[in-house]
Amino acid sequence: MIALSLAEIAEAVSGTLNTHGADTPETVVSGVVDTDSRAMEPGAIFVAKPGEVTDGHLFVGRAVEAGAVLAIVERIVDEPVTQIVVPDVVLAIADLAREVVARVRARGALKIVGVTGSNGKTTTKNMLATILGPEGETVAPKGSYNNAVGAPLTMLRLTDHTRFLVCELGADAPGQIGRLAALVTPDVGVVLMVGLAHAGGFGGIEVTVREKSELIRAVRPGGVAVLNADDHRVAGMAAIADERGLSVRWFGEADSADVRSGALEVTAQGTRTTLTVDGVEIPLHLKVLGGHHVKNAMAAVTAAAALGIDPEVAVRRLESMQLAERWRMQVLTESPIRIINDAYNASPDAVAAALRTLAQITGPDERMVAVLGAMSELGEQAVEEHQKIGLLAVRLRIPRIVVVGSEARALYLAAIAEGSWNDEAVFFEDADAAFEYLTGELRPGDSVLVKSSNAAGLRFLGDRLGESFS
């Protein structure tokens, strides 16, 4: 974090300062800010966030032992450290992030990109970080730091020398994207697509559309909206951009898109295509597995161009990427069995894309195995969407469909009904049972996809399989 006095921090978060030892209101701190006591280092600021399982206030002492010099708390803790007491620590770190971003932006060099969408946010922000990093100090989220806590913590990593901030903006509840985007007022807002992810929690797809569009409403005057020309719900956000006087740049397969792709050649070594950027053709070999990531690459190139990065330079930098993120189409082993762990997020669109990738990269002498778990937060559409995935898996002629967890049982039943029999589709209540089955069933030449939502926990099953067959 940039250097701020204790008094400035207390004012930013509307908190009460309680100094300790030699500290005074003028004492300056500039260390990392985190809610995890294990992430502390000398000079750090610990945020004591209450949680569902435990309470950060219990770890203030541990944070101090690791080097924390300030704790932001909701109640005074009997530990030898300066504390700022606030009513709500989550709101406090948002307020502090707003102040830090405003101060760094006022110095003139900082440019901010906000990225949202039902799928592809994490991959796209990593692609943008890869493109922008060589241009100057770039701050982007760790993993999927995109919620009410993670996004502000990312913003608080800014320094006086940061040139680019890439914000991944997700939503645990309606209104969150607007609140997070308002902390930074991005120069460029990227909306990837609108799908069924979170639709159950939000109350329907139209509420999701409104939520994603809040990013465009938050883009600063004179900024740029980067929109998916192939998604009619995203394309409709151009009206909001026009109302606000923003420029609109399009990516997609439509002929009208500013950045579009040609035919895709998808293999286990990546995807080859040609991007056309404002009429100029640029070959692209994307090593990140899955043809669906080309759309994310187009979004990243479009956003980078809005920041003045030459598209050919952007493409060359993207070609250096080997992995989107851990647990996202992550190839754990190639031989004798290929294990692909993609079990961190799973909307219906993402699962369908992953299954199609499995079919595309599996050779004629190899066998496809899909290990599938539940897709979360689909509400009343959960059964229907799981059934659709079961049908798709059978229609893609996947000979081994391994379904794990009761919440995904509709997927298994749909596969059976569609014509998957003779143990082609099997069901297990838990990952341990599935692991025992798979270790005896898998054979050399198999291509195995492990796919589920984060809550289903199959990413750990994928890791176990990777360790077993490495």
| Rg of the chain over all Cα atoms, to the nearest angstrom | 23
Q: Is 120 annotated as a binding residue?
A: yes
Written out in words, the top-level CATH class of the domain with range 330-468 is alpha beta
Q: How far is 249 from 229, CA to CA, in rounded Å? A: 9
Structure-block tokens of residue 468? 């077993």
β strands within 334-431, DSSP E: 338-342, 367-372, 400-404, 425-428
For residues 85 and 140, give the distance between their C-alpha atoms in angstroms, rounded to a whole number: 29
Report d(CA 468, CA 470) in Å as an integer: 6
Supply angle C-alpha 311, 315, 320, rounded to 5.
150
Instruction: Note the pLDDT of residue 346.
Output: 83
119 is in an annotated binding site: yes
Does 123 carry a binding-site annotation? Answer: yes
Q: Across-strand partners of 448?
A: 339, 369
Query: How many C-beta neighbours within 10 Å does residue 40 have?
Result: 22
Euclidean distance between CA atoms 178 and 133, whole angstroms = 26
DSSP labels, 20-68: -TT--TT-EE---EES-GGG--TT-EEE--B-SS-BGGGGHHHHHHTT-
Query: What is the distance between the alpha carbons of residues 324 and 341, in angstroms, rounded to a whole number?
Result: 12
Strand partners, 28: 5
Tokens of 371: 């290990």
SS3 369: strand
pTM listed for this prediction:
0.91
The CATH code belonging to domain 109-318 is 3.40.1190.10
What pLDDT does 197 receive? 58
Token representation of residue 291: 């043809």
Closest C-alpha to 287, from 340, 339, 324: 324
Total Cβ atoms within 10 A of residue 221: 8
CA angle 194, 370, 351 (to 5 degrees): 0
> Is 117 marked as binding a ligand?
yes
CA distances to 127, 391, 399, 419 from 394, rounded to whole Å, are: 33, 5, 8, 7
CATH superfamily of 4-86: MurE/MurF, N-terminal domain (3.40.1390.10)
Reported in sequence order, the residue ranges of 169-286 that DSSP labels E, i.e. its strands, are 188-191, 224-228, 247-251, 259-261, 265-267, 270-277, 280-286
Between CA 301 and CA 174, with CA 220 as vertex, the angle to 5 degrees is: 90
Instruction: Return the domain boundaries, the chain.
Output: 4-86, 109-318, 330-468
Return averaged pLDDT per consecutive 10 residues of the chain, 470 residues in all.
Answer: 98 98 97 96 97 92 98 97 98 98 94 95 95 97 87 97 96 89 98 74 78 97 97 97 97 94 93 95 95 96 98 97 84 93 89 95 94 90 95 95 96 88 87 97 96 92 94
Asked whether the beta carbons of 364 and 336 are under 8 A apart, the reply is: no
For CA atoms 154, 155, 157, 162, give the dihedral sign.
Answer: positive
Residue 122 marked ligand-binding: yes
In contact, 375 and 385? CB cutoff 8 Å: yes
Distance of alpha carbon 332 from alpha carbon 404, whole angstroms: 20
Structure tokens belonging to residue 391: 């049908």
